Every structure is written in C-alpha cells, then in structure tokens.
C-alpha cells in the first residue's frame, strides 16, 4: 500500500517535472546560435535567401517563438514528439530505431559494473590491508582515473588492431547475412569492448563505495552482537553487513541508470555504435530541434523512472525506510 501510494505521488510530480523540463529545453535549444535551416543551407555549400526562407517556412520556424512553443507543448501532451525535417522521419521512429542499440550497450555495462564492482568491493573489504585489497583498490583507481575516450582507443588498438581478437567498432558485421543465434553472437562480440570501456569507470566507483561502506557497517554494534552470537563470518558479511552497506550503492546505481539513454555519447562515438547518444549529439550540432528535444525528453523520462525504481529498491532492501516513525 505504502509503495503504491508513493508511486502514484511520484508519478504525478514526474509528469509536471517532465513538462517543465520540456519547456526549459525548448528555450535552451532556441537560445543556441543558428537554426536547422541555416545548418542545412550551410551544408549544401551553396544557398540563396529563397532556400533558407523556404526551409524556415517548411519547419515552422517563420512563426513567432510563442506559437512554436504552444505547438510543441500541444504535441507532447498528445504524446507526439514531432517530425525531423532534417532526417525526413518522425522523431519517435528515429528514437525507437536507435534505442535498442543503446540499451543493449548501457544495460550490459550497467550490470557488469554493478555486479563486478560490488563483488570486488566485498572481496577487498574482507581482506582489508592485505595484498588482494591493494591489488583491487589499485586497479580500480586506475580505471577510475583513466579518461573514457583514451581507454576506448587503447582497447581498440590492443584488442582489435594488434591482437585482432575483437571487432574494433560497429554494432554487427555489416552485410554478413547472419540471422538468429549467429547474429546474437556477432553482436555480442561487437559489444564486449564498448561495454567494458563504458563499465570500467562505474565498476571502480561501485567497488570503492562497497568497500568503504562494508568497512563502516562492520564497525557497528549490531555486527558485534551478531559476532558475539557466534554466527559464521560469511553469514555476518552477507546478511548483516552487505545488506546495510548496499544502500549507498543503490543510490549511485539509480543515478547511473538514469543515464542509460543519453550517457554513452563518447563510447558510441569511438566505437561507431549506432545509439541514441550519437543521435543526440548529431542533432544538437545540426540544430535539429524536434529530434534533440525528443531525445532530451526520453532521457528525462528515464531519469525519473529510475529514481522511482531506486526508491522502491531501497524499501525492499531495508523495510524500515518509508515507514512512519
């Protein structure tokens, strides 16, 4: 009941937040210099006033800004994200076309980083001060400090160019004619490098947070009580310490999950991964207003959804949360 009530309240707030975000985005994007007509005309390498005026009229940019805003808000209230004149397709189609690739990449990276990060954090905390701990912490620090862009290029140079083990870029083998299982394996091969590159940073963060949190909780009185009761150390670690230590990790995971849609621009660019981050970046450069606003809106939606999910997970891990004092 409590959970259902919370969800309803959150959804209501979420809808209002989304609307506010949409309006804010609208003004931000219109404040940037240039417009899609100028960019399109610029790319043509030749343009006259007629061309630019024709394009503006076609895109509806010849209308006053408040009319454009009114139309835009009206559209999103009817769940219509508009039409990309640049790409000649409805924005929703463009986003849906790119969404699977991005979700495959970011979800894989998310789970790799979360599971490996927590596991390594637990392992390091269990052997605190010993060699294993130093090794894990040291490696994590390296991952944490390495710029994503550089790590990605190095991974390509080593595993793709030098060793030839894995494809260096792309989503799948182009023109291979693979179907079904073969295709899945092929995509998986292409997925390994970008997912690892994207996941390593967060893995390091989860590892450090889990370790610190585990050590902190281990000092608390209820753990001493458990130990005094004569429980086995592994049981104490799993049922008493880890469960309590996970809360800050969940908070962070919620934040990372919010970026599942738009947070992989760099990785997608280096690995030529046909995801939504690139769609966002390229649309921004081209001032493709409708597309960029659409991607922003979907990203904002994801952030809100994952915030709600995070709250629910809190309660599952620690039932005390949310109960009235």
Partner 1 sequence: MKHLKLTTFLVAAMLATGAAAQEDGGRLDLIVQPEPPSLMLGLVQNGPTQMVSGQIYEGLLRYNTDLEPQPSLAKSWEIAEDGMTYTFHLNEGVTWHDGEPFSSADVVFTTKFLQDNHPRFRAAFSHVESVEAPDANTVVIKMKEPYGPFINAFEAGSMPIVPAHIYEGTDYATNEMNATPIGTGPYKFVEWSKGSFIHLTKNPDYYIDGLPHIDDLYYRVVPDAASRAVAFETGEVSVLPGGAVENWDVKRLTEMDGVCSTSAGWEFFAPHAWMWLNNREGPTSDKRFRQAVMFALDREFVKDVVWNGFGKVPTGPVSSKTNFYSDDVPQYPHDPDKAKELLAEMGYDGTPVRVLPLPYGETWQRWAEAVKQNLEEVGIKVDIDSADVAGWNEKTANWDYDMAFTYLYQYGDPALGVARNYTADQIKKGSPWNNVEGYENPELDKKWAAAAIEPDNAKRQELYTEIQQQIVEDVPVAWLLEIEFPTIYRCNVKNLITTGIGLNDGLRDAWIEQ
Q: Output 156 or 226, the one with its CB closest to partner 1.
A: 156
* 8 A C-beta contact, residue 120 and residue 207: yes
Q: Output 64 or 88, the one with its CB closest to partner 1.
A: 88
- Residue selected from 62, 80, 133, 282 as contacting partner 1 according to rule CB under 8 A: 282
* 8 A C-beta contact, residue 280 and residue 295: yes
Does the footprint of partner 1 cover residue 97 (CB under 8 A)? yes
- List the structure tokens of 235: 């049981």
Does the footprint of partner 1 cover residue 39 (CB under 8 A)? yes
Cβ neighbour number for residue 77 with a 10 Å cutoff: 10
Contact residues for 221 (Cβ-Cβ < 8 A; gap 6+)? none
Q: Output 169 or 178, the one with its CB closest to partner 1.
A: 169
Q: Smallest distance from the beta carbon of 205 to partner 1, in angstroms?
A: 25
Does the footprint of partner 1 cover residue 32 (CB under 8 A)? yes
In this chain, which stretch among 73-81, 106-114, 156-164, 298-306 interacts with partner 1, using CB under 8 A? Answer: 156-164
Site for partner 1, residues 132 to 151, rule: CB under 8 A: none
- Residue selected from 21, 26, 35, 75 as contacting partner 1 according to rule CB under 8 A: 35
Q: Output 208 or 287, the one with its CB closest to partner 1.
A: 287
* Per-residue three-class SS string for the chain: CHHHHHHHHHHHHHHHHHHHHHHHHHHHHHHCCCCHHHHHHHHHCCCCHHHHHHHHHHHCCCCCHHHHHHHHHHHHHCCCCCEECCCCEEHHHHHHHHHHHHHHHHHHHHHHHHHHHHHHHHHHHHCCCCHHHHHHHHHHHHHHHCCHHHHHHHHHHHHHHHCCCCCCCCCCCCCCCCCHHHHHHHHHHHHHHHHHHHHHHHHHHHHHHHHHHHHHHHCCHHHHHHHHHCCCHHHHHHHHHHHHHHHHHHHHHHHHHHCCCCCCHHHHHHCCCCCHHHHHHHHHHCCCHHHHHHHHHHHHHHHHHHHHHHHHHHHHHCCCCCCCC
Closest Cα partner for 193 from 164, 158, 147, 155? 155
- Residue selected from 85, 201, 202, 306 as contacting partner 1 according to rule CB under 8 A: 85
Does the footprint of partner 1 cover residue 275 (CB under 8 A)? yes
- Residue selected from 17, 87, 132, 146 as contacting partner 1 according to rule CB under 8 A: 87
Binding mask 171-210 for partner 1 (x = CB under 8 A): x--xx-----------------------------------
Q: Output 33 or 64, the one with its CB closest to partner 1.
A: 33
In this chain, which stretch among 2-10, 253-261, 278-286, 297-305 interacts with partner 1, using CB under 8 A? Answer: 278-286
In this chain, which stretch among 12-20, 170-178, 241-249, 256-264 interacts with partner 1, using CB under 8 A? Answer: 170-178
Between strands 83-84 and 89-90, the pairing is: antiparallel
Does the footprint of partner 1 cover residue 287 (CB under 8 A)? yes
Q: Smallest distance from the beta carbon of 80 to partner 1, in angstroms?
A: 16
- Residue selected from 38, 112, 301, 309 as contacting partner 1 according to rule CB under 8 A: 38
Q: Smallest distance from the beta carbon of 254 to partner 1, in angstroms?
A: 28
By rule CB under 8 A, what count of residues binds partner 1? 57
Report the interface residues with partner 1, using CB under 8 A: 32-35, 38-52, 54, 58, 85-89, 94, 97-98, 101, 153, 156-157, 160-161, 164, 167-171, 174-175, 268-275, 278-279, 282, 285-287
């Amino acid at each position: 009941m409590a959970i259902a009530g919370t969800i309803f309240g959150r959804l209501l707030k979420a809808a209002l937040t989304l609307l506010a975000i949409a309006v804010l985005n609208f003004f931000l994007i219109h404040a940037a210099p240039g417009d899609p007509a100028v960019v399109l005309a610029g790319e043509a390498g030749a343009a006259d006033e007629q061309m630019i005026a024709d394009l503006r009229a076609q895109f509806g940019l010849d209308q006053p800004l408040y009319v454009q805003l009114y139309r835009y808000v009206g559209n999103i209230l009817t769940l219509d994200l508009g039409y990309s004149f640049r790409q000649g397709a409805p924005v929703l189609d463009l986003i849906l076309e790119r969404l699977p690739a991005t979700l495959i990449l970011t979800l894989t990276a998310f789970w790799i980083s979360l599971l490996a990060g927590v596991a390594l954090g637990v392992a390091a905390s269990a052997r605190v001060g010993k060699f294993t701990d130093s090794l894990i912490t040291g490696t994590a620090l390296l991952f944490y400090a390495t710029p994503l862009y550089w790590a990605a290029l190095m991974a390509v140079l080593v595993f793709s160019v030098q060793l030839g083990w894995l494809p260096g870029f792309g989503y799948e083998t182009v023109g291979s004619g693979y179907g079904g299982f073969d295709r899945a394996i092929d995509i998986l091969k292409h997925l390994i490098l970008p997912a690892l590159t994207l996941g390593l940073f967060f893995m390091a963060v989860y590892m450090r947070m889990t370790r610190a949190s585990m050590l902190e909780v281990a000092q608390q009185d209820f753990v001493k009580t458990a130990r005094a009761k004569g429980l086995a150390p592994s049981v104490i670690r799993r049922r008493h310490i880890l469960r309590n230590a996970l809360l800050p990790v969940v908070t962070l995971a919620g934040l990372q999950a919010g970026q599942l849609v738009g947070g992989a621009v760099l990785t997608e660019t280096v690995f030529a991964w046909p995801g939504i981050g690139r769609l966002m970046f390229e649309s921004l450069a081209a001032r493709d207003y409708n597309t960029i606003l659409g991607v922003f809106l979907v990203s904002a939606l994801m952030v809100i959804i994952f915030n709600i999910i995070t709250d629910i997970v809190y309660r599952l891990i620690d039932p005390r949360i949310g109960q009235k004092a």
